Amino acid sequence: MNRNLTYLDELESKSIYIIREAYRRYRDKLAVLVSWGKDSTTLLYLTRKAFFGEVPIPVMHIDTSYKFREIYEFRNRLVKEWNLKLLIAKNEEALKQGMSPGKGRFQCCTALKTQALKQAIKKFKLKALLLAIRRDEHGIRAKERYFSPRDSHFKWNYLSQPPELWEQFNQVTDEETHVRVHPMLHWLEIDIWRYIQREKIPIVPLYFSGARKLGYRYRSIGCEPCCIPIPSNAKTVKEVIAELERTNVPERAGRAQDKEKMYMMEKLRALGYM
Q: Are strands 128-130 and 216-217 parallel, antiparallel or unpaired?
A: unpaired
Q: In the predicted model, is pLDDT for residue 1 greater than 50?
A: no
Kindly report, residue by residue over 76-118, the tens digit of the pLDDT: 999 999 999 999 999 999 999 999 999 998 899 999 999 999 9
Distance (Å, whole) CA 80 – CA 116: 24
Confidence class for position 142, pLDDT limits 50, 70, 90: low
pLDDT digits (tens, 9 = 90+) for 208-264: 999 999 999 999 999 999 999 999 999 999 999 999 999 888 786 655 544 445 555
Query: Which DSSP category does 88 fall into?
Result: E
Q: How would residue 57 be classed by pLDDT, with cut points 50, 70 and 90?
A: very high
Mean predicted lDDT score pLDDT of the chain? 86
Altogether, the residues listed in the chain come to a count of 274
Task: List, in sequence order, every residue forming a beta bridge with 34; answer none if it has no partner.
Answer: 61
What band does 154 get if pLDDT is binned at 50, 70 and 90?
Answer: low
Which own/partner contact pairs does 214-223 have at CB distance under 8 Å and 24+ positions apart? 218/254, 219/251, 219/252, 219/253, 219/254, 220/37, 220/251, 220/252, 220/254, 220/255, 221/35, 221/37, 221/68, 221/71, 222/35, 222/37, 222/67, 222/255, 223/64, 223/66, 223/67, 223/101, 223/108
Please tell me what DSSP assigns to residue 115. Answer: I
pTM assigned to the model: 0.86
**pLDDT classification of 138: cutoffs 50, 70, 90:** low
What average pLDDT does this structure show over 146-157?
Answer: 70
Angle at alpha carbon of residue 96, lines to 90 and 101, rounded to 5° = 75
What are the structural domains, with CATH classification, of the chain? 7-188+259-270 (3.40.50.620), 204-256 (no CATH)
Q: Which of 23-32, 40-49, 118-127, 169-178 has the lowest mean pLDDT?
A: 169-178
Is the per-residue pLDDT at 204 higher than 50?
A: yes
Q: Given pLDDT bands bounded at 50, 70 and 90, which one contains residue 146?
A: confident
pLDDT value at position 175? 58
At 144 the pLDDT is: 75
Using alpha carbons only, give the angle 268, 138, 16 rounded to the nearest 5 degrees.
100
Instruction: pLDDT band for 145, please (50, 70, 90 cuts).
Output: confident
SS (H, E, C) 153-205: CCCCCCCCCCCCECCECCCCCCCCCEEEECCCCCCCHHHHHHHHHHHCCCCCH
Query: DSSP secondary structure string, 24-82?
Result: HHHGGGEEEEE-SSHHHHHHHHHHHHHTTT---S-EEEE--S-B-HHHHHHHHHHHHHT
What confidence score (pLDDT) does residue 161 get?
60
